Chains A and B, each alone.
Chain A
């Protein structure tokens, strides 16, 4: 890894412009948003597009396999710890930059249409720009503290945007839930940072890696650090057991769900682990934990997704499931495959969410799929793009999701056959519930009220254009990572190779899989997907079944539809006891002990003051005597009493 500190390099200006432009947009919209009206949306979008242009500039001008550190200032010294305020530009950062600013710009553009009639229009774009700023800090920092700033900042913006319609108490609760769940994870991240500071005296990525390499593979310190960091990732990226906030986070406006809770913020955990790849490859035990958690999450969320009826909830559980898949990839040491899935997933999941937003927009706010149906006839562009997204996530070639999923599945097959089976099962479920969603929404006939039906309309151009761009991307983006049977060069892997080169030398590389084996795996995956699609088609198109109302559910399906009662269990196990305990403390510790102490102190002070007041007679002669005698006593003490 060659690192050059060039302040005057031609990359300096675009690098600092990338986070500064959204910050500028945030400031402009935050200060003058009310006056700007609908112009604020265009300002925000322009800022992000400019940022995207800068990212593209970096992409084309960074020498292959190189990396550059742009130091803005020496942030602080504390004894032997030194932390700079610096940006690290390398292929991994640029990948994330392109995803964040590119998809971010499209979602901003879409929001101009989606939020058009909302009274908080400029506030929305203010938050959105602030979010992008923090997200960029997160991916650009060259040390864990910078990452942590972004990490906390995106958490804050997520909170603000989930509770965007703050007049609804349920939405506020969802926002608080997201924030608190994230804080549990953040504590893990903090502990990880403290451990790094304690052991390595630094938070810079490269120096931490050097320190970790000196400790060697399987060292307990590294296992501790990586586990602590992984807890942070669990919170941010909604993994078991901290995933429950993400489905509730759908309370926010749909573009927010697309940008924050599908494409960018929730992948921060994966980025963080990919960024710390050397640490993680030195801790095989942690990787095993990640693999197990990821696999469990992907299956668990997929099963819940089967029986959800809220269009956004389905997508939310699908996101949790896909994130689990990415973590599983990381857990197998396939960092590039995980990142590859991050990229492809960002495109098709943003597309799906925006499509869902368009559907909701068309139906005047209806989100329940039981009140939809037959929409394919009315909103054709949305239908076409949504279909592409669904096919992409289901893993049908040649759409984007196929390539990234296939890569993870192939790795899993080499790694462990059971994991491979579970992951394949999960992708089969994914194909099923996504097509269930598609059929229920767009096929057969409309099941809602006539009044809603009367209003159905295609979204304006400003909303459909991003959909179309994302649809095209969802088709082509997979070709940057073709499997070995189709191509000798995996351009995405090559691009990122310099970042992961060192961890590749630590971990034993798997042997090359035979081509026939690979064809069999691809065939199996596609076959399973097609099978479940056919099943969904049979059930929801041929037989025209619709999900029953909540009250009629029974047995296992009731448990699944109620998300395995995880929220209720958390309530009973954590929330209620804490409430009880705090009530107890309120009565005993606070009211009885602390209040008593405080009152006692106040009482004694005032009484002593009352007593001392008598000495203040107002007689100057007395004061002077007191002064002189005090002087005498002080000097006497100094002379005769040896202290």
Chain B
């Protein structure tokens, strides 16, 4: 078992555990914090996969922007474990059962397409900033620019939505 494998197992365990804590924490603040940790571990996976550019973007976008937004919202709405609503126990069982069933069924579905334990002959270099940049600015220029329009509209939309209405 090489060093990279050990790192992978540790990261995977950490990822799954933090994901479970996101779901099962009573306090929304804790959920947010666990999710941030989960995202960091995923960024670690990206580094392991030699996708440095995405790892960096992932940390900036998710941990830096999105999770901060979540945190702000949770704090703004003053949510905590006391105000947190809960489902009946029966429904909780049903939810866990459904999730487990989905996992089994997806595994069963992809089993036939699963490749044999496969190891790449050499390290892929596609994740380097240079290569991704080439791809983005050469082949995907238009989607890239359209994405900025999407951001603009999302920005305007959220400002309009969150603004206090003056009429009422």
Q: Do A and B share a direct contact in the complex (Cβ within 8 angstroms)?
A: yes
- List chain A positions with a Cβ less than 8 A from chain B: 621, 625, 628-629, 631-632, 635-636, 638-639
State which of A621, A629, A635, A636 has its C-beta within 8 Å of the C-beta of B87: A621
The distance from the CB of A481 to the nearest CB of chain B, in whole angstroms, is 74
The distance from the CB of A43 to the nearest CB of chain B, in whole angstroms, is 53
- List chain B positions with a Cβ less than 8 A from chain A: 87, 91, 94-95, 98-99, 101-102, 105-106, 108-109
The distance from the CB of B107 to the nearest CB of chain A, in whole angstroms, is 10
State which of B87, B91, B95, B98 has its C-beta within 8 Å of the C-beta of A632: B98
Main secondary structure, interface of A, reads helix
Kindly list chain B residues whose C-beta atoms are within 8 Å of the C-beta of A629. Answer: 98
Q: Can you list 22 residue pairs at the A/B interface with Cβ under 8 Å? A: A621-B87, A621-B91, A625-B94, A625-B95, A625-B98, A628-B98, A628-B99, A628-B102, A629-B98, A631-B102, A632-B98, A632-B101, A632-B102, A632-B105, A635-B105, A635-B106, A635-B108, A635-B109, A636-B105, A639-B105, A639-B108, A639-B109
Q: Looking across the interface, which residue of chain B has its beta carbon closest to that of A622?
A: B91
Kindly list chain B residues whose C-beta atoms are within 8 Å of the C-beta of A631. Answer: 102
Asked if residues A638 and B109 are in contact (CB atoms below 8 Å), the reply is yes
Could you list 7 further interchain pairs (A-B, Cβ under 8 angstroms) beyond the known A635-B108, A635-B109, A639-B108? A621-B87, A625-B94, A632-B98, A632-B101, A632-B105, A636-B105, A638-B109
Main secondary structure, interface of B, reads helix
The distance from the CB of B114 to the nearest CB of chain A, in whole angstroms, is 14
Kindly list chain B residues whose C-beta atoms are within 8 Å of the C-beta of A628. Answer: 98-99, 102
Kindly list chain A residues whose C-beta atoms are within 8 Å of the C-beta of B91. Answer: 621
The distance from the CB of B150 to the nearest CB of chain A, in whole angstroms, is 25
Kindly list chain A residues whose C-beta atoms are within 8 Å of the C-beta of B102. Answer: 628, 631-632
Cα separation A629 to B87 with both chains bound (whole Å): 18
Kindly list chain B residues whose C-beta atoms are within 8 Å of the C-beta of A636. Answer: 105
The distance from the CB of A229 to the nearest CB of chain B, in whole angstroms, is 58
Kindly list chain A residues whose C-beta atoms are within 8 Å of the C-beta of B94. Answer: 625
Kindly list chain B residues whose C-beta atoms are within 8 Å of the C-beta of A638. Answer: 109
Q: Looking across the interface, which residue of chain A has its beta carbon closest to that of B106?
A: A635
Kindly list chain B residues whose C-beta atoms are within 8 Å of the C-beta of A632. Answer: 98, 101-102, 105
Q: Looking across the interface, which residue of chain A has its beta carbon closest to that of B99?
A: A628
Kindly list chain A residues whose C-beta atoms are within 8 Å of the C-beta of B95. Answer: 625
Q: Looking across the interface, which residue of chain A has its beta carbon closest to that of B108?
A: A639
Cα separation A639 to B108 with both chains bound (whole Å): 8
Q: Looking across the interface, which residue of chain A has its beta carbon closest to that of B109?
A: A635
The distance from the CB of B2 to the nearest CB of chain A, in whole angstroms, is 35
The distance from the CB of B87 to the nearest CB of chain A, in whole angstroms, is 7
Cα separation A638 to B95 with both chains bound (whole Å): 23
Cα separation A638 to B99 with both chains bound (whole Å): 18
The distance from the CB of B84 to the nearest CB of chain A, in whole angstroms, is 15
The distance from the CB of A56 to the nearest CB of chain B, in whole angstroms, is 60
